[in-house]
Amino acid sequence: MFGSKDLVGLDIGTHSIKLVRLKKGKKGFELLNFGIMPLPPETIVDETIEKPEVVTNAIKNLFKMEKISTKEVVTAVSGQSLVIKKINVPKMTEDELAESIKVEAEQYLPFAIEEVNVDFQIIKEITPEKNEKKEGEDEPKITMDVLLVAVRKELIENRNKPILDAGLKPIIVDLDVFAIENGYELNYGIPYGEVVALIDMGDSFTNVNILVDGVTEVTRDIPGGGNRINHELQKNFNTDHKGAEKLKMGIGLNGVSEKDVANTITTVLGELSHEINKMFHNFIKSTEKNINKVVISGGCARIPGIEKILTENFDIPTEIIDPYKNIKINPKIFDLQYIQDMAPLAAIGIGLAIRRLGDKTKP
């Protein structure tokens, strides 16, 4: 049922493309390739590729640089053109659900059903307690919790076009949120008995995915991320985007007060944390479950001291993801310091690269 062919994970982000290739052996995965190719500003805006020819050339150069001949790739989509929601439906077979899922999905979608690809994963059956039946009512029916996923077709087409134009085959189109989740499970195991919040801090959006026993309970994109920090740094310190990126990482201060830079970053992270905390509080109130741990990824996860800031803001232990925790890396081939420095940026690529033909670990 599972194909064994190594696929290339291709994470197309706002500022760069990340490539990951893994080899699966008897003792687990080994890193074969990891590469990053920067993209010019305005190439991708709000998750939409505005300059596909630029992305195509970048992909070609990245494959050439990494000396990869494999044509089959796994990529991912994210943003406002997709819906991920846990729904409850009457108990039925998987085939029956496949027949009716579009009807079930319509009520949850902000766009026409004809515009989307729909998929699902059955999570578990819900058997009512005997005392739930009230006098005069029918016997309570067994239902199922289902994870519903709907992605606008134009988003998939927009993401696939530069890949196809580069002469490659997008075999699987995943979701960023599930790629990170898969990578987390590979490296940390399925967190049974725990509630873990995976936070991917991107450029335009910050995605929060709350897992209960390793299954998505709720996920949400919150506007704001690296771009918001850069905007404030540019405004406060009269610098350009490149200068703001350096300040964000604690380099290139050139007489600028380190304390003032830290205060700017802390303020923006505080605003973002406030929005995330509202989501956390709603989750805790509706489920009566506490969040045990927060794990962060993405470009902002490389900001010095961010673990401490977010731990204080959330009042929850927070750590930076290690996407290579259970992956073998040959120190004769890779610069281990560079690999670790870039680790938060590799989380999606790792989760994509572990996918294999024929699998369906997530919708």
Note the pLDDT of residue 175.
Answer: 95
d(CA 237, CA 162): 36
Q: Is residue 2 part of a domain?
A: no
Position 3 in a domain: no
Within-domain flag for 362 = no
pLDDT value at residue 2: 36
Residue numbers of the domain that contains 22 = 8-231+258-353
Number of domains observed in the structure of the chain: 1
Residues 227 and 234: beta-carbon distance below 8 Å: no
CATH code for position 89: 3.30.420.40
Residue 176 lies in a domain: yes
The one-digit pLDDT tens for each residue of the chain (363 residues) are 234 578 999 999 999 999 999 999 888 999 999 999 999 989 998 889 999 999 999 999 999 999 999 999 999 999 888 999 999 999 999 999 999 999 989 999 999 999 999 999 999 888 877 555 555 566 678 999 999 999 999 999 999 999 999 999 999 999 999 999 999 999 999 888 999 999 999 888 899 999 999 999 999 999 889 999 999 999 999 999 889 999 999 887 778 899 999 999 999 999 999 999 999 999 999 999 999 999 999 999 999 999 999 999 999 999 999 999 999 999 999 999 999 999 999 999 999 999 976 665 454
Burial 286-317 (b: 16+ CB within 10 A, else e): eeeeebebbbbbbbbbbbeebbebbeebbebe
User: Per the domain annotation, does 246 fall within a domain?
Assistant: no
User: Considering the entire predicted model, what is its pTM?
Assistant: 0.91
Residue 229, helix vs strand vs coil: helix
In a domain, 334, yes or no: yes
For 60, the token pair is: 């070609």
In a domain, 44, yes or no: yes
For 14, residues 6+ apart whose C-beta sits below 8 A from its C-beta are: 39, 43, 44, 47, 202, 203, 204, 227
- Residue 359 resides in a domain: no
Say how many C-beta atoms besides its own lie within 10 A of residue 149's C-beta: 22
Q: What angle do CA 305, 308, 311 make, to 5 degrees?
A: 145
Quote the pLDDT of residue 138: 64
Residue carrying structure tokens 């578990």: 124
